[in-house]
Structure 1
């Protein structure tokens, strides 16, 4: 059960219609309907009977309404008590790299300009973040892949390179002094990300362009956690293809070595994603515009 579902339900009861609830919450009617339907499915009860002429709240609906109002009041009071003001909330999902390496600087900078905005951030992989946009759980997402879903808007806001990360040992230190391509690493043990990761998708695109069959790789491990992959490289388990932004920290402290991939490795993009069926609130639009401008100016 999500706060947004309860907000949608309370708004329908308060304003007596799905259309007015949508207008007040800056959502579309299909989104309001989806939130109500999800609540009814989760609670196994009919909350609202909707006809062409009127919207009728059931007895169970009114019972939920009283509880929902109290829950939302508690949430708002907690926000006010801990922040000293009634802040506007942005719910967002972010895949691993945006969450760990982009969001900290974005939220710090945005917070200085707009101190009355509070963020509720959830980390998942790109596929999971996009799904949360589609089901209305979040206002927007920052992800590392464009799935081409026609229900979403994908706005590129930041570019990145893919690099090959290796342990620091004599073998790879010697390779740093010569011209190498990915073909020179084909027999080396490699760690790859699980499906759902934007980096995994970009790696697959690179391998296809390089004419390398994934089945020909010497895969030593498959991992979903980026930090586990990085530490495994540091400890000598194998090599991996990583986002440059995620690997720079360990390269600077000489814990790993980075090799640029050849020309066939295109730059990847990170995207702001939101639903076409969602009308973004003013403070959410401010954040979207801030993110786009932040990396244009940097």
Structure 2
């Protein structure tokens, strides 16, 4: 969030403090709050759909102008991917910046820099994996239109306050980042194979299977996978409760840990606004899984067992 906040602050300083931003797609909570609270506000498109882009293009053609468009690739928790090619075209045509959060996709799986002016990422998550250090990154695209003014702003305004030992731990933790991503990609797909065919699972969200999968494929590296975040919705709330109670993983709200982590994400992140979230297709009973480094057969069996517990629940 520090990286997102400073990307927003930098664009306000480097471009204009009077222009609103765009939050495109259902975001992590604080991204939207930052854009709403600091500066002149934002326009929110919660579905990240082509019809949302149609509406945005209509506004742009009518003369509306914006500071920047902020999006996640993929989004959290629905794993949908906005059409970055079309967004880049609109940005070039109507002069706004594009800020993409690739925390979930990771630069080991995808390359979104050609479409972004700033790429932000939470290094606290899978880049570190070890749960003992925090950090974030903001990468300015050197080929981007706003690169020079952003660099000038950073030289004037940014102060390096990163604690030296945090830097050391982050560097150490990241050394096996690429191999960990490979393992997590394999584990996540194996878990999805179990979940996507199960009759109790109403919806499965994973970049490979959502409706916007082609947008992900357009940015996927030749050897890249689909990441370690999976979300699912059961047909009945009681089944979700039984599954969550039974699943033998760590349980908590983060993601990108080296161990698998399961959470009732929407209840934790949006408890005071469940109806609002549901309006964007985010079910209050959604279960989110951050996949770790366990042996594949072992972690698959963990989820098979949890599904059996859900099967035992009577919904009559």
Give the TM-score range, shorter chain. under 0.3
Higher strand share: 1
State TM-score, norm by structure 1.
Answer: 0.26
Could you say which structure has the larger radius of gyration? Answer: 1
State TM-score, norm by structure 2.
Answer: 0.25
